[in-house]
């Protein structure tokens, strides 16, 4: 069975440019998560989806970050405009439901120059 | 606000040694606690999950314990191998909000 798929794996952009990350969760998983992981730190939740609905986006910087999960399957996370401090690894995870074990993708490593 | 701390931040041991990684949390209102492994450039892999009503879980050479009242968990790795080299992350799921709160991790290096 395929795991959580993320693309791209690496992205280098200049500050003030837009960037988007894509996540395809495990088939049948209703809950999808986006995490931010800074170097030397644990992941921090940005947003959690239950099907199409964003049920916890309290940590998402809404002035520059946006996310969507159309049709309750794939999800995209966008940053516009990117800042130097956004350089980090962006992890996507999915689970059957919000109480079940989360399965993580390999992440997208973003470098903002 | 829940805070999760992992000690030590980094650990280097010779192959074959038994070792203990420590995790502490400030709010005991947890639903469960999970230990993850992260290899460089990879996502997180779940190793062990302990429900709040449980005291320990075992998988192969790994044993995780939980003392909810004191806010502590340990991950014991027996007979360490170079392939165990990775970052080990502890995460607690809160009773409220279903949120996972992670520690910063322990970087383990097992030398052959």
Q: Determine, for residues A99 and B31 on separate chains, whether the beta-carbon distance falls below 8 Å.
A: yes
**In the prediction, which pLDDT does A81 show?**
96
Q: Determine, for residues A104 and B43 on separate chains, whether the beta-carbon distance falls below 8 Å.
A: yes
**In the prediction, which pLDDT does A101 show?**
85
Cβ B48 vs Cβ B57: under 8 Å = yes
Handedness of CA A93, A96, A99, A101 (dihedral sign): negative
Q: Which residues of A touch B (CB under 8 A)?
A: 4, 40-45, 48, 56, 91, 93, 98-99, 101-107, 109
Cβ-Cβ pairs closer than 8 A, A with B, add up to 48
**pLDDT one digit per residue (tens) for chain A, 113 residues:** 679 999 999 999 999 999 999 999 999 999 999 999 999 999 999 999 999 999 888 889 999 999 999 888 999 999 999 999 999 999 999 999 888 888 999 999 999 99
In chain A, what residues touch B35 (CB-CB under 8 Å)?
A: none
In chain B, what residues touch A56 (CB-CB under 8 Å)?
A: 97-99
Condensed to tens digits (0 to 9), the pLDDT of residues B51-67 reads: 999 999 999 999 999 99
Calculate what percentage of chain B has a pLDDT beyond 90: 88
Q: Determine, for residues B98 and A43 on separate chains, whether the beta-carbon distance falls below 8 Å.
A: no
Longest distance between any two alpha carbons in chain A, whole Å: 38
Cβ A16 vs Cβ A81: under 8 Å = yes
Which residue among A45, A48, A105 places its CB closest to the CB of B43?
A105
Q: Does B40 touch chain A (CB under 8 A)?
A: no
Name B36's Cβ contacts closer than 8 Å, sequence gap at least 6.
A104, B44, B45, B46, B47, B88, B89, B90, B91
Q: Does B21 touch chain A (CB under 8 A)?
A: no
Determine the distance in angstroms separating the CA of B77 from the nearest CA of chain A, rounded to an integer: 21
Q: Does B94 touch chain A (CB under 8 A)?
A: no
Which residue among B45, B46, B98 places its CB closest to the CB of A99?
B98
């Amino acid at each position: 069975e395929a795991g959580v798929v993320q693309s791209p794996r690496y992205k280098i952009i200049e500050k003030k440019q837009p960037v988007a990350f894509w996540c395809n969760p495990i088939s049948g998983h209703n809950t999808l998560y986006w995490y931010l992981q800074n170097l030397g730190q644990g992941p921090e939740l940005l947003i959690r989806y239950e099907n199409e609905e964003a049920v916890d986006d309290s940590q998402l910087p809404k002035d520059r970050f946006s996310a969507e999960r159309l049709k309750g399957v794939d999800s995209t996370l966008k940053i516009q405009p990117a800042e130097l401090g956004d350089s980090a690894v962006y992890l996507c995870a999915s689970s059957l439901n919000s109480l079940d074990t989360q399965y993580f993708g390999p992440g997208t490593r973003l470098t903002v120059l | 606000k829940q805070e999760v701390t992992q000690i030590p931040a980094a650990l280097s041991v010779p192959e074959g040694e038994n070792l203990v990684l420590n995790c502490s949390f400030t709010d005991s209102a947890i639903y469960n606690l999970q230990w993850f492994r992260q290899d460089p450039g990879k996502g997180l892999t779940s190793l062990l999950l302990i429900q709040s009503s449980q005291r320990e879980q075992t998988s192969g050479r790994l044993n995780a314990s939980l003392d909810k009242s004191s806010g502590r968990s340990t991950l014991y790795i027996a007979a360490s191998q170079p392939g165990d080299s990775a970052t080990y992350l502890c995460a607690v799921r809160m009773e409220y909000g279903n949120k996972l709160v992670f520690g910063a991790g322990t970087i383990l290096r097992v030398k052959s």
